[in-house]
């Protein structure tokens, strides 16, 4: 009887211990977040009038396909960060590019395709250029009453015209007669130069030496916005500017 009491007490203690242990809350382990990037694509090649760009995940599954006309930008989309396969076909279905491109975690980027596409190695200058546009977790907005203006040189490297630097200038009109230079410089290929400028109406000018020139008046720059002036060129040679106005994107979590 005494032995039974001892075993009974032990069983009761074990039961109480198990009950108390079950009441202790185990620590919650947060799931590992998958890093992502927010990107858009641009067709700034000199001789592909239409391209389809397919982006694949590491398991080979298709993330998205974007169709881009000449000098066109896609909408923005998310992609898991890291090395991702990009396959580009022209309008006839010929594969002109099939390689991995690295996208950086939590960046807002433009991935631009530039240059001259050719199956002849000595003529081919097809190029991939990533233009950083900000970070998803930071509000990329200029101060009040100002804007950000960027000149981006995609004046493509072609057999007719090699890669060249572009001189640019942004002018404000003073008293309807005097031009006041607000921002000027030289953008190498491929390269970007930017500045914060007051909101207002401007004239811009872009040139390669004295051969190719573009000037446009009455360009409105609004407060709080971001502007990209993509300097592009087609084959046969056509020097042009693709204007892109962007509102700052909402802040997103890492």
HSE of 75 in the Cβ direction (CA atoms, 13 Å)? Answer: 4
Q: Does 19 reside within a domain?
A: no
In angstroms, the CA 254 to CA 251 distance is: 10
Q: Does 145 reside within a domain?
A: yes
Domain holding 157, by residue range, is 36-246
In angstroms, the CA 36 to CA 39 distance is: 10
Q: Percent of the chain at pLDDT above 90?
A: 72
pLDDT at position 17: 56
Q: Does 213 reside within a domain?
A: yes
pLDDT at position 203: 94
Average pLDDT in the chain: 88
Structure tokens, 181:
């230079």
Banded pLDDT at 4 (limits 50, 70, 90): very low
Sign of the CA dihedral running 187, 188, 189, 194:
negative
Q: Does 137 reside within a domain?
A: yes
43 CB neighbour count, 10 Å cutoff: 23
Banded pLDDT at 22 (limits 50, 70, 90): low
Q: Does 131 reside within a domain?
A: yes
Q: Does 116 reside within a domain?
A: yes
pLDDT at position 15: 60
Which pTM was predicted?
Answer: 0.85
Q: How many domains does the chain have?
A: 1
- Name the 3-class secondary structure at 22: helix
In tens, the pLDDT along 181-217 reads 899 999 999 999 999 999 999 999 999 887 789 999 9
Q: Does 16 reside within a domain?
A: no
Sign of the CA dihedral running 52, 97, 164, 152:
positive
pLDDT at position 3: 45
In angstroms, the CA 32 to CA 91 distance is: 41
Phi and psi torsions of 104, nearest 5°: -85, 140
Tell me which H or E stretch contains 49. none
In tens, the pLDDT along 33-44 reads 789 999 999 999
Q: Does 30 reside within a domain?
A: no
pLDDT at position 27: 64
């Amino acid at each position: 009887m005494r032995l039974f009491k001892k075993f009974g007490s032990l069983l009761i203690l074990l039961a109480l211990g198990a009950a108390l242990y079950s009441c202790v809350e185990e620590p919650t382990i947060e799931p590992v977040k998958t890093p992502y990037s927010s990107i858009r694509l641009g067709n700034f090649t000199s001789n592909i009038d239409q391209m389809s760009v397919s982006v694949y995940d590491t398991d080979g599954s298709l993330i998205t396909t974007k169709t881009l006309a000449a000098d066109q930008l896609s909408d923005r989309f998310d992609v898991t960060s890291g090395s991702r396969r990009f396959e580009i076909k022209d309008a006839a279905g010929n594969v002109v590019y099939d390689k991995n491109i690295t996208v950086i975690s939590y960046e807002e980027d433009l991935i631009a395709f530039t240059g001259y596409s050719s199956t002849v190695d000595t003529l081919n200058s097809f190029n991939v250029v990533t233009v950083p546009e900000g970070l998803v977790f930071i509000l990329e907005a200029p101060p009040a009453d100002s804007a950000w203006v960027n000149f981006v040189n995609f004046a493509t490297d072609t057999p007719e015209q090699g890669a060249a630097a572009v001189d640019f200038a942004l002018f404000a009109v003073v008293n309807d007669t005097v031009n006041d230079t607000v921002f000027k410089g030289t953008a190498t290929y491929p390269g970007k130069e930017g500045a914060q400028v007051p909101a207002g109406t401007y004239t811009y000018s872009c040139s390669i030496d004295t051969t190719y020139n573009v000037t446009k008046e009455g360009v409105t720059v609004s407060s709080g916005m971001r502007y990209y002036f993509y300097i592009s060129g087609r084959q046969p040679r056509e020097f042009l500017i693709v204007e892109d106005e962007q509102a700052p994107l909402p802040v997103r979590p890492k």
